[in-house]
Amino acid sequence: MSDEAVLVLEDGSVHRGEAFGARGRTLGEAVFATGMTGYQETLTDPSYHRQIVVATAPHIGNTGWNDEDDESVRIQVAGYVVRDPARRPSNWRSQRDLAEELSRQGVVGLAGVDTRAITRRLREAGSMRAGIFSGDALADATTMRAAVLDSPAMTGADLAGAVTTGEAYTVPAVGETRFRVAALDLGIKANTPRMLAERGIETRVLPSTATIDELLDGAPDGVFLSNGPGDPATAVHAVDLTAEVLRREVPLFGICFGNQILSRALGLGTYKMRYGHRGINIPVVDHTTGTVAITSQNHGFAVAGEPGARVASPAGTVHLSHSCPNDGTVEGVTCEDVPAFSVQYHPEAAAGPHDAAGLFDRFADLMGKN
């Protein structure tokens, strides 16, 4: 690992370091993530599809790679940028080294750059299109920047189809089955059905193209809308399905992309944030209880509205029930006339705080009351 690699941002800045993982070219939206642990879960989270993740934690790779912590079947990020990779992993669960796994899966990375300087740039100018170039793909700065400027933006990107399951599958409950849930897979993470299962919930995971009849086949007790990549404004089919689920008053819970979809089905808007929220220590205020949870997050779009407000929707009153005190963005919505709620943050996060895990119990209660 001594050959050159370069990160080129849309603003024309060029950041030179060393190749990390596979050699070649990759293009995507550059975003920064502030978690100091959990890189394996981050890299395999489908919500990061087509994003080049810049780690602000300076030292990455200490705990290696194992076959247990993947959130999906592959590394999903378009590229990975770190400052100082661990020279050798040391953890009792580690089976491989991070750079080796990136190479094995053909994921192009970059090491040895000042990731905090890059982060400051992304924070001031906002998330940008970017490319990592190494090996045969290295070229002069003008050529590399032209490739970046030619790549698609995240606004308007419809990406659920690229990460959803091809076939429906079922994850059984642990112990007695209390409820059955139909989950729309827009980029679901493995830990979601696992956490539902621990609460006696069987999850049937369906492709993002499922029809309303497929989704509600067998009369599930609830519907779950997963996290996922891309711009929620493009998720027209998922929004239509959700509107129908609301009309039928089937209990519904959504996470992140799912929160944006429920909100859009309720007539609220979504917009692209300047640089988003990606980390494992982001505070969220619950306006119903006045309590604050520390949460894991990974989103670049947000729901528009005034935190704490109650607004009219096709499904009755909606409470913009959660918000982030850092920037006043909406972090969750609760329907007051139909059994539906969602959050922008991640109760299923592994490597991250557990403050929000109770949301799965809230979903179970909602199904129980129905």
Residue with tokens 């913009």: 320
Please say which residue, 133 or 257, places its beta carbon nearer to ligand GLN: 257
Q: Answer yes or no: is 227 a known binding residue.
A: no
**Coil/strand/helix, residue 321:** strand
Taking residue 64's Cβ as centre, other Cβ atoms within 10 Å add up to 20
Q: Of the candidates 202, 201, 203, 205, which has an alpha carbon nearest to the alpha carbon of residue 214?
A: 205
Site residues (CB under 6 A) for ligand GLN?
47, 227-230, 256-257, 298-301
Does 342 carry a binding-site annotation? Answer: no
Catalytic residues: 256, 346, 348
219-231 burial: b if 16+ Cβ within 10 Å, else e: ebbbbbbbbbbbb
Q: Which is nearer to ligand GLN, 129 or 145 (CB)?
A: 129
For residues 58 and 309, give the distance between their C-alpha atoms in angstroms, rounded to a whole number. Answer: 40
**257 annotated as ligand-binding:** yes
151 has binding-site annotation: no
Give the nearest distance from C-beta 48 to ligand GLN in angstroms: 8
User: Measured from the CB atom, is 8 or 160 closer to ligand GLN?
Assistant: 160
Smallest separation (angstroms) from ligand GLN to the CB of 253: 14
Ligand-binding annotation for 228, yes or no, is yes
Task: Report yes or no: 272 and 234 within 8 Å, Cβ to Cβ.
Answer: no
DSSP 20-82: EEB-SEEEEEEEEE--SS-HHHHHT-GGGBTEEEEE-SSEE-TT-B-SS--SSSS--BSEEE-
Q: How far is the CB of 69 from ligand GLN (least distance, A)?
A: 17
- 186 vs 246 by CB, closer to ligand GLN: 186
CB 55 to ligand GLN: min, Å: 17
121 CB neighbour count, 10 Å cutoff: 18
Binding site per annotation, positions for L-glutamine:
47, 228, 230, 257, 260, 298, 300-301
Binding site per annotation, positions:
47, 228, 230, 257, 260, 298, 300-301
